[in-house]
């Protein structure tokens, strides 16, 4: 899911990556089925989350770490 959804890798590349990294030989059809199932299961959650975020008056989204006196937190 991460390879296709977050890194935008094609199904065939994710299939090869799983084989190279984990020794798991899977078909592109299997990768497609996993992504499809994850999308189906997360659909209602992501819609609900998006609706809640639209209700917020101020929304700050930043992936940058914040530096504190004792280090990153």
Q: What is the pLDDT of residues 15-45, one digit of tens each?
A: 999 999 999 999 999 999 999 999 999 999 9
Instruction: Tell whether 50 is covered by a domain.
Output: yes
pLDDT at 54: 87
pTM of the model: 0.65
In a domain, 65, yes or no: no
Candidates 1, 4, 26; CA nearest to 15 is 26
Token readout for 61 is: 């989204």
Residue 7 lies in a domain: yes
- Is there a domain that residue 31 lies in? yes
Share of the chain above pLDDT 70, in %: 84
CA distance 65 to 62: 8
Among the listed residues 68, 11, 52, the one whose alpha carbon sits nearest the alpha carbon of residue 3: 11
Cβ neighbour number for residue 18 with a 10 Å cutoff: 16
Contact (Cβ atoms closer than 8 angstroms) between residue 8 and residue 35: no
Whether 22 is covered by a domain: the verdict is: yes
In a domain, residue 46? The reply is yes
Residue 64 falls within a domain, yes or no?
A: no
Which range of residues forms the domain containing residue 18? 2-55
Per-residue pLDDT, 18: 92
Give the count of domains, the chain: 1
């Amino acid at each position: 899911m991460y390879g296709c959804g977050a890194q935008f890798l094609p199904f065939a590349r994710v299939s090869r990556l799983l084989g190279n990294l984990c020794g798991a030989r899977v078909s592109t059809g299997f990768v497609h089925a996993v992504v499809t199932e994850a999308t189906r299961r997360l659909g209602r959650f992501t819609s609900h989350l998006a609706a809640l975020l639209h209700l917020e008056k101020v929304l700050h989204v930043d992936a940058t770490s914040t530096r504190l006196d004792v280090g990153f937190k």
